[in-house]
Structure 1
Amino acid sequence: MNDNTTDTYSGASPSPLTQRPLAERQFRTHDGESLFYRHWPATGPARRGAIVLFHRGHEHGARMAHLVDELDLPDFDVFAWDARGHGRSPGQRGYSPSFGTSVRDVQTFVQHIVGAHGVAEHDIHVIAQSVGAVLVATWAHDYAPKVRGLTLASPAFKVKLYVPFARPGLALMHKLRGLFFVNSYVKAKFLTHDPARIASYESDPLITRPIAVNILLGLYEAADRVVADANAITLPVQLLISGADWVVHHKPQHQFFERLGSAVKTKTVLSGFFHDTLGEKDRAPAVQAIREFVLRLFDEAPAPVDRRGAHLEGETAEESRALAAPLPALSPRGLYWSLTRAGLRFGGGLSEGVKLGHDTGFDSGSTLDYVYRNVAQGKGALGRAIDRNYLEAIGWRGIRQRKIHVEELLRIAMERLAEMHREVRLMDIAAGHGRYVLDAVLASPVKASSILLRDYSEINVRDGRALIAEKGLEDVAQFVQADAFDRMSLASVTPRPTLAVVSGLYELFPDNEMVRRSLAGVGDAVEDGGYLVYTGQPWHPQLEMIARALTSHRQGEAWVMRRRTQVEMDQLVEEAGFRKIDQRSDEWGIFTVSLARRTEH
């Protein structure tokens, strides 16, 4: 069972909406909330897999319960949650701390099903509708789960807001007023033609009509990102589109489908259907299509899409090459970025952080350590104001969240090693100044027997050794100059590490062959059953600004990054002999941190 979850059994009884027995349960999320869910066990002679249902906005899991019988899949368990702030789950109605929090709830729920109910992740098929479909699509993009497939019904990638400029207006009001709630304008008769569904919607006391403005805005932001970068999703996907939808726009749904990186994908436009696709009056053809898709995937599981060669061809390779190509100096974009660089040079004369970026590279260990400290410095009030604005850039906020996640997963790995009565021998192959490693060690109740920090930069080694002394860890920690891409150097490390970390390194190099060589060395070094914490960057909203205006640590070259999708990063790590067991992602989907375990040779 996942350490962050609990399973509370509250009895089994026939469900009023299905013929199957129903168990009502709870699971504990990453932040301690206990969310409600329903479980209908398989009734066939042997369980074949599981179906997980995610309801649309304003509703709850019971409103999808009719699918349990209608799908006619007796060999499958069926699960349906009530999202945070909905149905019988706790929390202010229609509220979640953030859209990213709800996406992580999806991850935690699936982990709970795997751990508490013994269903393998690859034996899970997900069916989600409307807002639930956007949550699931974002989860598939950011976390790269290995479920069997996804069925997305009328995903709410773009809600029809009939008031002009509603979205920027809501954003401005949110900034000025803080949290407030927006009531749904949608009447039940515009959701479905089914009189029974209309009546039950209007009388259901668990329907949640308000939605928190932060969730509505977060829904839009996540949907824009996922539709634009749908190629990162490689799972089999079935998309159902309601042809007469009053609630959401069709165009982003079609764009999402066209951009999907899935080898297996199907799209069906259901003529005349309103938004409640799976609750429409004549839904039998849609339900039958889902059943056939599920059985097809379970009869013969398709091979996963191999992304290990994505540095040679594909969207991220093309994107990276385009960013590396110089712009004509007198073109509008060329002039724009020339002015931006000039502004940064001016800022570097006042802001300590901008100056450090110009001196050592904006991707250097020195810059990252400055960003971690997050203390604005500069010449006078103006310099400090410029520096504060620089430190609050979304990329640097993501970097600081990445540090928190790295430290969290390092501590989890250390505790797991202690539970197995194994020594914690920690190695960071490109530590920068090593601050996140040393902070994690000091915050853990588990004592490390050895800490080896490595980095290629003489400056980082010098400053990292000073930091070791400042933290009082000279007795267990050492810092050496070494190449993170030298397989033999990594493989010959003694004593052999039981926990390795590579943070913020591979994101700086587009070539997967270099990364494979490095990971192979880490795989050679780490003992069987040991752990690896690794980072990824599947998305970044400021790629062009970074490439056109910032310089890297490599002798002042432009800082051009090639994004790696989470699927690609996980496949490279798996090839080196590790299996991912946990993951974190920031609120914006920029940086991920994963924990993997070394499998036996």
Structure 2
Amino acid sequence: FCLCFELLLFSLLCCLCFLDSFTVSSDVSFFLRLRFSAVFAVVRMSSIESQMEPLTSGASNRIIPLLKAFRGSLIFVYTFFLSFLLFVGRNRNRVAVPGSPKRNLKKRWLVREEEDTFRRRALAQDVGMGRDDGCCRWNTSIFYGVRNNALFCRSWFPVFGDLKGIMIIIHGLNEHSGRYAEFARQLTLCNFGVYAMDWIGHGGSDGLHGYVPSLDHVVADTGAFLESIKSENPGIPCFLFGHSTGGAVVLKAASHPQIEAMVEGVILTSPALRVKPSHPIVGAVAPIFSLVAPRFQFKGANKRGIPVSRDPAALVAKYSDPLVYTGPIRVRTGHEILRISSYLMRNFMSVTVPFFVLHGTADKVTDPLASQDLYNKAASEIKDIKLYDGFLHDLLFEPEREEIAQDIINWMEKRLCNSI
């Protein structure tokens, strides 16, 4: 295992040398010399062991295990020390040179990212937000998150009648808030207001498209967004809605007592609660590669070929939408999904917020049995689950989307009646 890990470290070093425009620092040179000296020492001990194998004396039987133990200890010490050098010592004594290839490359990358953000924000502004039938009014705005990122937001409100409550929509991975315009319209017809926020790296928000540096940042942004909405609409009951990875974000946000106290309940559709890597090795190396090459696109984890709706028109609309990220998942983003789902699985019994979880039994993206486990294990006094036989991942884009939306509205109205 240590030798395999050492080989992985050596491969990462080569990647880092490439990222440094083939400029090898003194730390890296020292690393290479130490690496080859370690290999020489291990090979030398292996040679000694092989020479002693033919011996039949009791002394050799005692010495060989000692040599093997010493070799294992040496490999462990070298591996630990090389890890320290690789991740801590690389930047020691490094002088930033203005106009260096690395700095110019980073500057060009930031310019490209900003240009892409402006392009996506312009597209987000042009997304249709409803029918011109006079039943609701809508608006777009920019909300600044906890890290001062500009996050693109939408809102829909009924034109007539008293407001029953407000739903805050947190979309799923790779999509955007504009996809929920029809769902928002159905909510406004029942006198619910709707707010929706694009994550960082999604829709019209700041960041590289499809890249999420930390889902904890999305959780924090969700909490801050909710607090802002509550301050603008005092006395109006609020619900949090999350789809897929957005469901995981909402559930983790609602695990904080101050957030739970601000909502009447949470609604989760196809939540990402038990996400497994495509291969155990992927799960083992993901934390390391998410640090070394976080924006790298990992084609092995791309699930685009998996159907998410039984409505062909909905599939065409999704994958032809320029605001929907359809490229391979980025390493850091994938690692963050594994991390948040693992956290939630360990803390099902700590969930106390009222919730309604909906899942299709034929979902191939997220696990419907994990939703059942959440329902069985959660400590919430008010909890409901509905499994739709044969339905796929994007429940609100299935042919029966209006019936599913009505199930959600009925649950919200029931919660409001019980809380009076």
Give the residue type in structure 1 aligned to 2:361. G
Classify 1:296/1:178 alpha carbon distance in 2 versus 1 (closer, same or farther; 3 Å).
closer
Aligned residue in 2 for 1:181: 297
| Structure 1 SS opposite 2:242 | strand
Aligned residue in 2 for 1:523: none
Aligned residue in 1 for 2:275: 159
CA contact (8 A) 1:50 1:119 kept: no
Distance in 2 (alpha carbons) for counterparts of 1:155 and 1:14? 26
Aligned residue in 2 for 1:139: 253
Aligned residue in 1 for 2:161: 45
Aligned residue in 2 for 1:97: 213
Distance in 2 (alpha carbons) for counterparts of 1:141 and 1:71? 25
Aligned residue in 2 for 1:194: 311
Aligned residue in 1 for 2:227: 111
CA contact (8 A) 2:252 2:344 kept: yes
Aligned residue in 1 for 2:242: 128
CA contact (8 A) 1:55 1:129 kept: yes
- Residues 23-45 of structure 1: per-residue CA shift (max 9 Å, x gap): 01111112211211111123332
Question: What is the Cα deviation at residue 193 of structure 1?
Answer: 1.0
| Structure 2 SS opposite 1:297 | helix
Give the residue type in structure 1 aligned to 2:194. V
Aligned residue in 2 for 1:228: 346
Classify 1:185/1:201 alpha carbon distance in 2 versus 1 (closer, same or farther; 3 Å).
same
| Structure 2 SS opposite 1:168 | helix
Distance in 2 (alpha carbons) for counterparts of 1:181 and 1:12? 28
CA contact (8 A) 2:302 2:329 kept: no
Question: What is the Cα deviation at residue 174 of structure 1?
Answer: 3.0
Distance in 1 (alpha carbons) for counterparts of 2:252 and 2:132? 30
Question: What is the Cα deviation at residue 15 of structure 1?
Answer: 2.7
**RMSD of equivalent CA atoms:** 2.6
Question: What is the Cα deviation at residue 83 of structure 1?
Answer: 1.0
Aligned residue in 1 for 2:409: 291
| Structure 1 SS opposite 2:380 | coil
Alignment partner for residue 325 of structure 2, among 196, 208, 218?
208
Question: What is the Cα deviation at residue 179 of structure 1?
Answer: 4.4
- Equivalenced residue count is 291
Aligned residue in 2 for 1:148: 264
Question: What is the Cα deviation at residue 180 of structure 1?
Answer: 2.3
Distance in 2 (alpha carbons) for counterparts of 1:91 and 1:12? 19
Q: Looking at both structures, which has the greater relative contact order when contacts are Cα pairs under 8 Å and sequence separation is at least 6?
A: 2
- Residues 237-268 of structure 1: per-residue CA shift (max 9 Å, x gap): 00101110111223322222212121111111
Larger helix percent: 2
Question: What is the Cα deviation at residue 280 of structure 1?
Answer: 1.1
Alignment partner for residue 337 of structure 2, among 204, 219, 225?
219
| Structure 2 SS opposite 1:291 | helix
Distance in 2 (alpha carbons) for counterparts of 1:18 and 1:123? 27
Classify 1:222/1:12 alpha carbon distance in 2 versus 1 (closer, same or farther; 3 Å).
closer
CA contact (8 A) 2:289 2:331 kept: no
Aligned residue in 1 for 2:173: 57
Distance in 2 (alpha carbons) for counterparts of 1:261 and 1:182? 37
Question: What is the Cα deviation at residue 285 of structure 1?
Answer: 3.0
Alignment partner for residue 371 of structure 2, among 239, 253, 260?
253
Matched, 1:84 2:186: no
CA contact (8 A) 1:103 1:136 kept: yes
Question: What is the Cα deviation at residue 289 of structure 1?
Answer: 1.2
Matched, 1:275 2:393: yes
| Structure 2: gaps spanning 5 or more residues | 1-123
Aligned residue in 2 for 1:300: 418
Alignment partner for residue 67 of structure 1, among 183, 187, 210?
183
Distance in 1 (alpha carbons) for counterparts of 2:137 and 2:322? 23
CA contact (8 A) 1:44 1:74 kept: no
CA contact (8 A) 2:164 2:192 kept: yes
Distance in 2 (alpha carbons) for counterparts of 1:262 and 1:24? 35
- Residues 422-457 of structure 1: per-residue CA shift (max 9 Å, x gap): xxxxxxxxxxxxxxxxxxxxxxxxxxxxxxxxxxxx
- Residues 355-374 of structure 1: per-residue CA shift (max 9 Å, x gap): xxxxxxxxxxxxxxxxxxxx
Distance in 1 (alpha carbons) for counterparts of 2:345 and 2:304? 27
Pick the structure with greater CA Rg: 2
Classify 1:177/1:86 alpha carbon distance in 2 versus 1 (closer, same or farther; 3 Å).
closer
| Structure 2 SS opposite 1:40 | strand
TM-score by length of structure 1 reads 0.45
Identity, % of aligned positions: 24
Alignment of 1:550-565 (within 5 A): none
Question: What is the Cα deviation at residue 144 of structure 1?
Answer: 4.4
Question: What is the Cα deviation at residue 166 of structure 1?
Answer: 2.6
